[in-house]
Chains A and B, each alone.
Chain A
Amino acid sequence: MSSRSSAGAPAPGAPARTSLPGGAFAGSGSLWGQVVKIALLGLFTALGVWAALPLYVGGNWAGIAVVAAVLVLVYWVYLSKRTVPLKYLLPGVLLLITFQILPVLYTMSTSVTNFSDGHRGDKEQAIAAIEAYSVTRAEQGREFGLTVATTGDPESGELVFLLTDPEGAAYAGDIEGLRPLDEATVDPASGRVTEAFGYTVLSPAQVNARSQELEEFAVPVGDGAGIRASGLSTAYEGRATRVYDAGCDCITDASTGVVYTADDERGAFYSEDGERLAQGWRVNVGFDNFARFLFNPTFASSFFSILVWNIGFAVAVTGLVFVVGLAVALTLHVPKLRGKQAYRILVVLPYAMSSLAMYLLWRDMFNTDFGLFNQLLGTNVDWLGDAWTARFAVILANVWLGYPYMFLVATGALQAIPRELTQAARIDGAGAWQAFRHVTLPMLMVAMTPILIATFAFNFNNFNAVWLITKGGPFPPDDPSAGATDLLITYTYRMAFSQATAEYGYAAALSVMIFVIVSVMSVISLSRSKALQEVDR
């Protein structure tokens, strides 16, 4: 009965299809509506042009194609007669696709890569870093006072280093090499050249504008060494000891003679005896990340117990939150209750507070020696040090934070149920409980089931709820990787983002798996509920 009366659907055979695309009413819109529509489409076109302009300047044709495609789509949807549902869905859906679905797809795509610290960028970046990091000061490395100048235009002319050595001799150096400089004015205070005939001295801003060029610039002084800038005012003689050779796809260390060959399977340079250079790049590793946790004995043994507690936690929090929230809503769902508004505000308070602060606070209240609970109860319970009390603590804190949401939703749902229905049931002789059980509750559940499922899903992945209170602990002394209150997501977080190495690829693989588990569970529970039948209808 619930679905019929609540949706007010007409008898079968006369479904809601009359309101479908086009229909008899197309074109009868008001003049005002049309004006608004034209204005909005115009505005939208202007925005499209606004977006496309810099893309055009930058020569990004793919970007322009995307903008144009979206524009065409919007025009089609809002001008065609056959796209009525889309007219309502398109704005939200476009945003959803761009800012939620695409990032998720991107994340999923990283689950088959070795994306992690040491494997973030591409191969070119790794090579550039390896070469740059190997530049070391030459044995008797000289230091110079530096003035950057040019022989041509400040923005594009060839770079020249005007150098002064500690003895005060001045030189000019360019890509050809170093030569003495006679006609130069040297500032006695800084020991740097301030002026030299035939050269234009660059201002700091001008030098800076050519930073990239400067990073690669070296005045060759023979034997592979070069004079490089260190900032704007000093230069030193240095040498790159590691050089990449595209021919053998390898890097040779000139100081040790070791050759590191690129391994495109593992995304790093390895020497013959297996030593690797720290800077690697991102490569595709197929299903290695999935295999890594599926065949990991520690993971296998902890996974099941964590999953059970994870489900238990989500069920307990969702159930309790629902019961408390609904009970409060029902208690207040009566006309003329004095102080109703004040009560409402008070019970919504937990929801209004910053959850970050509140989680930290709850953690403190469970402190053994100084916490509020032990002081009030006069006990000496090691709340967060014992598995079951810690679980209780986590659940309690989350019920406190979560019930106002249920209260709000249930209040709204109760408002939508015509009071006459319950009254009619009571007149028919039903008790208060029976009326609630057979009339109110079923109708409530139609609106509440998806909320309950979402609450379940939210709590299933409620990272902050556990992390800020127990960090997943307490941990058995012999296994610091899986704690008593660990959820899959906190466990993933710990395994993948331990402070030293962020392993995005691995974390993504774990997430994909958790995602699949949660989705399947949700879809199953959803398909058993009235909510989905509602959708089906």
Chain B
Amino acid sequence: MRLRSAPAFAALAATALMATACGGGGEDAQEGTDTTLVIWSDPERAAAIEAAAQSFADTNGIKVDVQQLAFGDIQGDLLNAHQAGNAPDIFIGAHDWTGNLVRNGAVQPVELPEHRAETLDETSVQALTYDGQLFGVPYSQENIFLMRNTALAPDAPETFEELVEVGTSLKESGETSEVLSMAVGQEGDPYRMNALFTSAGGYLFGQDDEGNWDPTDLGLNSDESIAAMEKIAEYGEAGQGVLRRSIDTQNDAALFFDGEAPFFIAGPWNIGDADAADLEYAISPIPGFEGEGPARPYIGYQAFFVTEGSANSALAQEFLANHVTDPAFILSLYESDPRTPVQLEALEEVSADDANIAAIAEAGAEGMPMPSIPEMGETWEPLGKAEAAIIGGADVRETMESTHETIAEKIGG
């Protein structure tokens, strides 16, 4: 056998690595000397969770590893990882993922001891319950609210009409360039719009007596919903020009912080910047239309879930059942990431110190938990586009009816 000089190092090394990669499935080669509980979190909360979980880790002689993913990626990545047998033990998520997680068998039911369940806000536990079974432990909630620049608008408006009146006079006097900063964007924003939509009497899904969402009762083409949209369209680009597609989540906060808009439909995620910005602000509920129902913003709950198939399910379950519900844990989470807790004791304590939390909670008093049925997910995009089109001046009835049809087709299919 004669040897000739051949392509060099990297080629062979790469090939060799390749060969390794070709290997098939089998047993775990890792050593199990140290138990590590893997938790997926979004980057904002990661440090908080890591720190707050430390006492749990110390008590049980284990390690905790918090890995960071973009919040929006967690659900999809988790489903893929679960399928590949590569998922974390615990992850945080939104309550409206529950239906889909359950459908894919990706989470474990959680049995909360009664003395723990009692300490949580009842609606929040209900929001994480699917088919009579609890699947995650809620720990915080968020809802949108009205933020106002108190230098420009000292009083919280009682009605949306009043808000527009105050804003318009400021705009006409040249003090501001906008009446209200409310993100709509080219794709619409049904999450924010729901407050006005419900106030004007519109509804998306019907509810049965027990409060369960009924996917067969889609209400977008109902007269109430169309009337509600007509009302909203009055404030659109073809009407008063208060709601416009050019205001989106990219610039809504900047408009308010720069003093260009006296009112701002904001969320808890804007608080940090608001404190940093050079202005005085106050938080109040989003006002409803005069003579109509209250504005009902969506409430989203954030929860901890245990992955099905987790190799450390005993510890993970213990963490959820007895640690996530512990006020001390919630408070330590709150320290580094201030969100409204759903643990009642913690909420009380936090509200006493932080006027914002109390105000946000008050703004969410009329709110409704986002429906967690899988059908809900099919509505966001078409409904958003319909709202954007209506605000842009499209015919309300026609748009709503065709949107209704599109969504109904998707849900039925």
22 A-B Cβ contacts within 8 A? A34-B5, A43-B13, A59-B26, A67-B20, A117-B100, A117-B104, A120-B105, A133-B131, A204-B60, A205-B61, A208-B35, A211-B315, A230-B317, A231-B319, A231-B322, A234-B113, A364-B250, A364-B251, A368-B246, A470-B186, A473-B187, A480-B402
- Of B102, B187, B322, which one neighbours A133 at CB under 8 angstroms? B102
- The CA of A502 and the CA of B399, in the complex, are separated in Å by 26
Task: List the B side residues contacting A129 at CB < 8 Å.
Answer: 105, 308
How close is A264's CB to chain B, nearest CB, in angstroms?
18
Judged by a CB distance under 8 angstroms, whether A350 is at the interface is: no
Question: How far does the alpha carbon of A467 sit from the alpha carbon of B142 in the complex, in Å?
Answer: 28
Given the interface pairs A74-B12, A98-B21, the reply to whether A135 lies near B321 with Cβ below 8 Å is: no
Docked complex: A41-64 residues within 8 A CB-CB of B: 41, 43-44, 46-48, 50-52, 54-55, 57-60, 62-63
Contact with B along A181-197 (1 / 0, CB 8 A): 00000000000000000
Closest-CB distance, B302 to chain A (whole angstroms):
17
Give the residues in chain A near B13, CB-CB below 8 Å: 40, 43-44, 47
Within 8 A of A (CB), among B380-413: 380-382, 385-386, 389-390, 392, 394-395, 398-399, 402-403, 406, 410
Known: A58-B29, A473-B186. A50 touches B79 (CB 8 A): no
A62 contacts B186, C-beta separation under 8 Å: no
Residues on A with C-beta less than 8 A from B402 are 477-480
Q: Which residue of B lies closest to A61 (CB)?
A: B24
Q: Which of B194-202, B206-214, B371-379 contacts A (4 or more CB under 8 A)?
A: B371-379
Quick check: is A79 within 8 A (CB to CB) of the other chain? Answer: yes
Query: Distance in Å from the Cβ of B82 to the closest Cβ of chain A?
Result: 8
- Check A500/B321 contact, CB under 8 A, given A360-B250, A368-B245, A385-B245: no
Mark out the residues of chain A between 455 and 512 whose CB falls within 8 Å of any chain B CB in the assembled complex. 470-471, 473-475, 477-481, 494, 498-502
A66 to B22, CA, bound (A): 7
Tell me the smallest distance from the CB of B214 to a CB of chain A, in Å.
15
Residues of B within 8 A of A51 (CB): 16, 19-20, 22-23
Bound CA span A118–B377, Å: 14
Q: Is the CB of B16 within 8 A of A214?
A: no
A211 x B311 contact (CB < 8 A) = yes
Chain B residue with the shortest CB-CB distance to A368: B246
Assembled-state Cα–Cα distance A26/B390 (Å): 76
Interface: A278 (CB within 8 A): yes
Pick the residue among B2, B18, B26, B313 that contacts A98 (CB under 8 A): B18
> 5 shortest A-B CB distances, which residue pairs?
A33-B5, A500-B377, A129-B105, A231-B318, A47-B16
Size bracket, chain A contacts: 35 or more
Q: Are B406 and A481 interface neighbours, CB within 8 A?
A: yes
**Which of the residues A66, A125, A228, A498 comes within 8 Å of B378, measured between beta carbons?**
A498
Tell me whether A55 and B410 are in contact (CB under 8 A).
Answer: no
In the bound complex, residues from chain B placing their C-beta under 8 Å from that of A90 are: 11, 15
* Contact of A501 with B377 at beta-carbon distance under 8 Å, contacts A33-B5, A40-B12, A120-B79 already known: yes
Contact A91 B11 (CB under 8 A): yes
Structural contact, A88 and B7, CB atoms closer than 8 A: yes
Contact A48 to B19, CB < 8 A, known contacts A91-B7, A129-B105, A278-B102: yes
Docked complex: B224-258 residues within 8 A CB-CB of A: 244-248, 250-251
CB-CB < 8 A to A385: which residues of B? Answer: 186, 245, 392
Which residues on the A side are within 8 Å of B244 (C-beta)?
A: 368-369
Q: What residues make up the interface of B, taking CB atoms closer than 8 Å to A? A: 1-27, 29, 32, 35, 59-62, 76, 79, 83, 100, 102-105, 108-114, 131-133, 186-187, 244-248, 250-251, 308, 310-315, 317-322, 374-378, 380-382, 385-386, 389-390, 392, 394-395, 398-399, 402-403, 406, 410
Least Cβ–Cβ distance between B189 and chain A, in angstroms: 13
Q: How far is the CB of B392 from chain A (nearest CB, A)?
A: 6
A58-B27, A370-B246 known; A94+B410 contact, CB < 8 A: no
Contact residue among A32, A99, A232, A279 (Cβ-Cβ distance under 8 Å from B314): A232
- Using known A-B contacts A36-B8, A232-B314, determine if residue A133 contacts B133 with beta carbons closer than 8 Å: yes
Select from chain B the residue with minimum beta-carbon distance to A95: B18
Extra contacts, 7 of them, besides A385-B186, A477-B398 (Cβ < 8 A), are A47-B16, A70-B19, A126-B105, A205-B60, A234-B113, A470-B186, A500-B375
Contact B403 A480 (CB under 8 A): yes
Known: A37-B6, A133-B102. A475 touches B389 (CB 8 A): yes
What is the bound-complex CA distance between A481 and B29, given in angstroms? 48
| Distance of B230 from chain A, by nearest CB (Å) | 14
- Would you call B308 and A210 a contact (CB within 8 A)? no
Q: How far is the CA of A88 from the CA of B17 in the complex (A)?
A: 17
Q: Contact string, A208-219, partner B, CB cutoff 8 A, digits 1/0?
A: 111110110000
* Complex: A370 Cα to B172 Cα, angstroms: 18
A78 beta carbon closer than 8 Å to chain B:
yes
Complex Cα–Cα for A369 and B6 (A): 63
Given A47-B17, A117-B79 in contact, is the A230-B113 Cβ separation under 8 Å? yes
Do residues B24 and A60 form an inter-chain contact, with CB atoms below 8 A? Answer: yes
Contact B3 A205 (CB under 8 A): no
A367 interface residue (CB < 8 Å to B): yes
Q: Tell me if A87 and B12 are in contact (CB < 8 A).
A: no
